[in-house]
């Protein structure tokens, strides 16, 4: 059945256990209540399919297209979904326990009451996801993209769905800034430079996770302008501090604006190969909450070992100094 064309076929209650349907054209197929345990659907087109209440446990759905499909109460326990498209899919009450979801497009999908216990979610698109009352005990979550790439927004990643939903409201609703003020004291905004510096930011974020911080990665592009600045401002309002890579050809104008209009501590870093004199002369360092001089690293390995710890220590000192200043200026804040 490999590469078979079964578009619009009615195969509910069919037993496809272990079947090889790799590359098959199954658009609009009806597999309601079917059994496809350990079936191979790699690269198959199941868009607009009806798969509700089917048993797809341990099935391989890598690179399969399930756009706009119905998978309500479907059993996808321990299924493999790598590079799978599930945009606008309905997964209400779906069993995904122990499943692997890597680079999955879940944008605008409905996962209400789904079971993701012990699942792995990594590098997935979760913009517009509906994830109320989901079960996530024991799940491993990392680098979930919460912004809309098609709208030319900055790429913003978080490490869990709940935080993603909260930050999405913060970014989209003006009044949310009050509701979520100081919501992530362990949150760290990590800004990648524009010229291919995302891997460096990822290394920093990985070490921050080990230090029990919640990194929010942001990748800017030159075309985003005022929209990017507004997003950065809102994100900076809920995190403890900002870590920014300034080692590119130029320091992002959005970062300079953030330093001028906000007061969140900013800890800059750059490769030792960067022009240190030019960096130190930047308008970024005119504000007292921007640490100077920037942290420089010699080898990329430092980004995932010692450098983040030094930056965290500096940020904590700055936060403590600011708190002490506030207590001196407003002593009544500590009165019970």
Task: Tell me the domains of the chain and their CATH numbers.
Answer: 1-142 (2.160.20.80), 152-334 (3.40.50.2300)
Name residues whose C-beta falls within 8 Å of residue 331's C-beta, 6 or more positions apart in sequence.
none
Q: Considering only CA atoms, which of 191, 189, 196 is closest in space to residue 244?
A: 191
With cut-offs at 50, 70 and 90, classify the pLDDT of residue 232: confident
- pTM summary value: 0.85
pLDDT band at 178 (very low <50, low <70, confident <90, very high): very low
CA distance 235 to 219: 13
CA-CA-CA-CA torsion for 46, 52, 54, 58, nearest 10 degrees?
Answer: 60
Please give the share of the chain, as a percent, with pLDDT higher than 70.
90
* Mean pLDDT (whole number) for 263-289: 83
Closest listed residue to residue 125, CA positions, set 84, 184, 70, 162: 84
Q: 173: pLDDT confidence band, cut at 50, 70 and 90?
A: low
Which run of H or of E encompasses 191? strand 184-192
Rounded CA separation 321/164 (Å): 30
Task: For residue 243, give the nearest of 159, 312, 160, 171 by alpha carbon.
Answer: 312
Confidence of residue 5 (pLDDT cuts 50, 70, 90): confident
């Amino acid at each position: 059945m490999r590469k078979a064309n079964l578009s619009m076929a009615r195969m509910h209650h069919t037993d496809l256990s272990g079947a090889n349907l790799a590359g098959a054209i199954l658009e609009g197929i009806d597999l309601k209540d079917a059994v496809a345990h350990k079936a191979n659907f790699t690269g198959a087109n199941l868009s607009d399919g009806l798969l509700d209440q089917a048993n797809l446990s341990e099935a391989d759905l890598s690179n399969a297209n399930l756009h706009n499909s119905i998978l309500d109460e479907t059993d996808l326990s321990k299924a493999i979904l790598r590079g799978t498209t599930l945009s606008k899919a309905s997964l209400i009450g779906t069993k995904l326990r122990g499943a692997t979801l890597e680079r999955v497009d879940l944008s605008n999908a409905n996962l209400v009451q789904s079971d993701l216990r012990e699942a792995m979610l990594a590098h997935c698109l979760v913009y517009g996801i509906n994830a109320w009352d989901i079960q996530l005990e024991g799940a491993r979550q990392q680098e979930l993209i919460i912004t809309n790439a098609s709208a030319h927004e900055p790429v913003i990643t978080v490490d869990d769905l709940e935080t993603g939903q909260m930050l999405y409201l913060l970014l989209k609703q003006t009044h949310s800034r009050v509701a979520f003020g100081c919501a992530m004291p362990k949150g760290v905004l990590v800004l990648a430079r524009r010229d291919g510096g995302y891997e460096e930011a990822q290394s920093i974020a990985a070490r921050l996770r080990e230090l029990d911080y919640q990194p929010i990665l942001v990748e800017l592009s030159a075309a985003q302008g005022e929209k990017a600045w507004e997003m950065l401002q809102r994100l900076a309002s809920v995190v403890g501090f900002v870590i920014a890579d300034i080692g590119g050809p130029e320091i992002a104008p959005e970062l300079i604006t953030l330093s001028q209009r906000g007061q969140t501590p900013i800890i800059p870093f750059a490769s030792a190969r960067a022009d240190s004199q030019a960096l130190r002369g930047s308008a970024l360092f005119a504000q007292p909450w921007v640490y100077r001089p920037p942290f420089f690293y010699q080898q990329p390995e430092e980004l995932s070992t010692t450098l983040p710890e030094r930056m965290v220590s500096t940020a904590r000192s700055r936060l403590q100094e600011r708190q002490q200043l506030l207590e001196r200026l407003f002593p009544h804040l500590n009165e019970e």
